Amino acid sequence: MLHSIYATPMSRTEEAPVYNRIAQARAALGLSRQDLAAAVGVHYQTIGYLERGEYSPSLSLALRIAQVLEQDVQTLFSIHPFPEN
């Protein structure tokens, strides 16, 4: 019973991971995490969580990130792991 109390996931990432290439796209544009965070309107730590795959963004945030990074959303995000370069 106690386990079920504590089992409330902290984010959707734990149930259904979303992979992304935010770090590569951000680096290609020469943006820092702070720059990207300010452009999409989130805290700078949230960009770190996204890049490490520890948080899955809402559709709205994913679209905003894709717009700022000048990419299609499906190029940046996937429910399958991206092939290693």
- Residues of this chain that interact with another protein (CB under 8 A) are 5-6, 8-12, 33, 41-49, 52, 54-55, 57-58, 61
Q: Which is nearer to another protein, 58 or 74 (CB)?
A: 58
Q: Which is nearer to another protein, 52 or 67 (CB)?
A: 52
Q: How far is 63 from 73, CA to CA, in rounded Å?
A: 6
DSSP secondary structure letters along 28-84: HHT--HHHHHHHHTS-HHHHHHHHTTS-PPPHHHHHHHHHHTTS-HHHHEESSPPPP
What would the two tokens of residue 51 be? 């890049």
**Nearest-approach distance from CB 11 to another protein, in angstroms:** 6
Q: Which is nearer to another protein, 1 or 79 (CB)?
A: 1
**Nearest-approach distance from CB 8 to another protein, in angstroms:** 5
